[in-house]
């Protein structure tokens, strides 16, 4: 046998094994399906699915297989779409198996659901693998990534460039500001009126308190949140309470405070259909089943990268200013940015010295690097703020494991998570609201929806309040 024939024979054996594995998966789905009186109909449907896949992948059908009766929602002999449809069908079968979907009607709905139109930009299988590798280890070099993905550094560079160009891909510095004796606090609010919202927005734009990090309004301009990083010392906490009281008197009808203790980043492509470049969360039957599975499962369906904020360290103004460079965009570029910032504050340091100081901060756990990207067809960011018991918090924290990209933080009184909602998946928001509200131990759920944006900022001005010799923040009225 010549090498070419040998290669073809090996490929044929590989495809035969893949199809045999698929048959076993389908049999497993059929065995677990309920109710029993619908199993015959489901078997007919799944038989058509298998025969369609078999035909498209080049296997010869027997005369009996060619005459296999059609199902009303899937006909193996008349369906003409090819390889992309096969990939979509395999993906849906994998979802059904992984998330233990046993309802026969839902199984048929999920597989027979019409694929939505392909978006302009879609993620490839290699790009997904690349994102997931960097999610687990954000600082991997291109050569290491090439080895893991069994390709070349040139290909990795091209893929990363495409991800940056089309999906705003970046590796981001999240900073543990508790290392700098700062406490992150979110205040969720509902204003007294639209006029009150406008006055609050003007106040934050014109005279922003020094330690206010962000203000964000929901689309309706009544709900929103404020994020503070306050000095974690008696005067800082007292000034925050005074500020909240003033905000309530002036602007708020209702408000809740959440001191933040940890952060978690989750990325999942379980619901991404490679064949269509669309998210299956738009199909409510699929989304509800996956969410119910996540609530029942004792372990996350996807690995979160988590960081619990740690103990404060000894630092000076240079350390604090170095931590304000939020994006890792190449070591050289970052060092140049740091050098310019330090010069503005009167610190003349060589790049080599800056690098050594920055390395010490990394070793001390100041930085928590994560990846960021805009999912295909991103429509809006959705945030759920949930006040609940610790048990409910632990259960609900598993929900984001099926969502495309989730940023989640926890507090003593609950949690909140922000996720990127794809277009055509509007139903997932209402579904999550109902599901979370029904959970035992949940006292309040606040939903915010706002325009997607990613604009990391440098908050260097707060460095003026740090007294390095006394290792404490020296606050003034109005700082919070």
pLDDT per position as a tens digit, 39-80: 888 999 999 899 988 888 888 888 888 888 878 777 776 665
472 beta partners: 467
The alpha-carbon radius of gyration of the chain (Å, integer) is 27
State mean pLDDT over 361-368.
Answer: 92
pLDDT confidence of residue 298: 55
Average pLDDT of the chain? 85
**Is residue 415 predicted with pLDDT exceeding 60?**
yes
- Give the integer Cα–Cα distance in Å for 177 and 182: 5
> What is the number of residues in the chain?
480
Q: At what angle do helices 153-167 and 125-136 cross, to 10 degrees?
A: 90
Higher pLDDT pick, 17 / 465: 465
Pick the closest to residue 326 from 266, 367, 362 (CA basis): 367
pLDDT above 90 coverage of the chain, percent: 41
pLDDT tens for 85-108 read 787 788 888 888 877 888 887 788
What CA–CA distance (Å, rounded) separates 182 from 195? 32
Which range, of 215-219, 283-287, 437-441, 471-475, averages the lowest pLDDT?
283-287
- Look at residue 305 and tell me whether its pLDDT is greater than 90: no
Evaluate if residue 471 carries a pLDDT over 80.
Answer: yes
| CA pair distance 419, 384, nearest whole angstrom | 9
Sequence-ordered list of residues with C-beta below 8 angstroms from that of 79, at least 6 positions apart, any chain = 52, 85
Query: In the predicted model, is pLDDT for residue 3 greater than 80?
Result: no
Residue-level pLDDT at 119: 45
Q: What is the pLDDT of residues 381-407, one digit of tens each?
A: 899 999 999 999 988 888 877 888 999
Q: In degrees rounded to 5, what are phi and psi of residue 401?
A: -65, -15
How far lies 19's CA from each of 56, 83, 406, 450, 469, in Å? 12, 14, 35, 45, 70
CATH number of 125-167: 1.10.10
Burial of 303 (0-12, 13-18, 19+ CB in 10 A): middle
3-class secondary structure, 372: strand
Residue 426 has what pLDDT? 82
What are the angstrom distances between the C-alpha of 337 and each of 320, 350, 457? Answer: 14, 12, 13
Rounded-to-integer distance, Cα 291 and Cα 32, Å: 19
Tokens standing for residue 6: 């040998």
Mean pLDDT of 342-351: 92
Alpha-carbon separation of residue 417 from 260, 384, 405, 449, 465 (angstroms): 12, 6, 10, 12, 31
Would you state the structure tokens that stand for residue 26, as one six-digit string?
Answer: 């389908």
DSSP for residue 74: B
Please determine, for residue 304, whether its predicted confidence score (pLDDT) is greater than 70: yes
Q: For residue 1, what pLDDT band results from cuts at 50, 70 and 90?
A: low
Question: pLDDT tens-digit profile of 115-165?
Answer: 433 445 788 999 999 999 999 999 899 999 999 999 999 999 999 988 987
What is the SS3 assignment for 17-41? HHHHHHHHHHHHHHHHCECHHHHHH
Q: What pLDDT does residue 115 have?
A: 42
Least confident window among 45-54, 232-241, 249-258: 45-54
Q: Does residue 466 surpass a pLDDT of 90? A: yes
Alpha helix segments (H runs only) across 39-141: 39-56, 63-66, 83-98, 104-112, 125-136
Nearest CA among 194, 184, 178 for reference residue 416: 184
Sign of CA dihedral 106, 112, 113, 118: positive
Is the Cβ–Cβ distance between 365 and 179 less than 8 Å? yes
pLDDT at 170 over 90: no
Cα–Cα distance list, 373 to 178, 274, 303, 421 (Å) = 26, 17, 17, 13
Contact (CB, 8 A) for 345 and 317 = yes
Quote the pLDDT of residue 328: 47
pLDDT of residue 408: 92
What are φ and ψ of residue 419, in 5° steps? -135, 155
pLDDT recorded at residue 116: 37
**Which has the higher per-residue pLDDT, 365 or 122?**
365
**Domain-wise residue ranges, the chain:** 3-115, 125-167, 170-313+364-480, 317-363
Question: What's the pLDDT at 7?
Answer: 62
Q: How far apart are CA 386 and CA 416, in angstroms?
A: 6
Residue 439 in 3-state DSSP? coil
Taking the C-alpha atoms of residue 345 and residue 349, their distance in angstroms, rounded to an integer, is 11
Reduce the DSSP state of residue 102 to 3 states and report it.
Answer: coil
Distance CA 320, CA 253 (A): 36
Q: Could you give the CA distance from residue 144 to residue 153 in angstroms, rounded to a whole number?
A: 9
């Amino acid at each position: 046998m010549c090498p070419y024939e040998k290669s073809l024979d090996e490929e044929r054996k590989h495809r035969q094994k893949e199809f045999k594995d698929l048959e076993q998966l389908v049999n497993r789905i059929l065995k677990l399906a309920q109710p029993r009186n619908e199993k015959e109909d489901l078997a007919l449907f799944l038989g058509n699915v298998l025969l369609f896949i078999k035909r498209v992948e080049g296997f010869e059908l027997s005369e009996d297989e060619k005459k296999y009766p059609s199902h009303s929602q899937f006909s193996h002999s008349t369906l003409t779409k090819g390889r992309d449809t096969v990939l979509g069908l395999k993906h849906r079968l994998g979802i059904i198996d992984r998330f233990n979907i046993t309802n026969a009607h839902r199984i048929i709905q999920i597989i027979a659901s019409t694929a939505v139109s392909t978006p302009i930009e879609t993620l490839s299988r290699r790009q997904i693998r690349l994102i997931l590798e960097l999610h687990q280890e954000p600082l991997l070099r291109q050569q290491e990534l090439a080895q893991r993905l069994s390709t070349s550094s040139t290909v990795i560079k091209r893929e990363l460039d495409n991800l940056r160009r089309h999906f705003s891909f970046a590796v981001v510095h999240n900073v543990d500001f508790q290392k700098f004796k700062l406490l992150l606090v979110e205040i969720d609010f509902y204003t007294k009126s639209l006029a009150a919202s406008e006055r609050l927005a003007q106040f934050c734009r014109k005279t922003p308190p020094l330690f206010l990090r962000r203000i964000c309004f929901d689309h309706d301009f009544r709900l929103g949140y404020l994020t503070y990083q306050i000095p974690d010392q008696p005067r800082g906490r007292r000034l925050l309470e005074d500020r909240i009281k003033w905000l309530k008197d002036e602007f708020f009808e209702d408000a809740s405070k959440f001191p933040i203790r940890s952060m978690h980043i989750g990325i999942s492509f379980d619901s991404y259909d490679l064949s269509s470049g669309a998210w299956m969360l738009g199909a409510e039957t699929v989304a509800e089943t996956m969410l119910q599975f996540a609530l029942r499962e004792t372990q996350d369906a996807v690995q979160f990268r988590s960081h619990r904020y740690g103990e404060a360290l000894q630092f000076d103004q240079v350390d604090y200013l170095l931590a304000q460079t939020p994006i890792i965009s190449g070591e050289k570029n970052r060092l140049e940015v740091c050098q310019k910032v330090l010069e503005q504050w009167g610190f003349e340091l060589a790049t080599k010295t800056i690098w050594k100081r920055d390395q010490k901060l990394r070793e001390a756990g100041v930085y928590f690097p994560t990846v960021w990207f805009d999912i295909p067809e991103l429509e809006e960011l959705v945030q759920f703020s949930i006040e609940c018991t610790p048990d409910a918090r632990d259960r609900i924290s598993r929900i984001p494991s099926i969502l495309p990209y989730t940023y989640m933080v926890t507090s003593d009184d609950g949690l909140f998570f922000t996720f990127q909602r794809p277009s055509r998946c509007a139903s997932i928001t209402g579904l999550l609201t109902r599901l979370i509200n029904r959970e035992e131990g949940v006292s309040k759920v606040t939903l915010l929806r706002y325009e997607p944006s990613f604009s990391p900022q440098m908050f260097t001005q707060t460095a003026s309040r740090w007294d390095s010799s006394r290792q404490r923040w020296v606050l003034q009225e109005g700082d919070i």
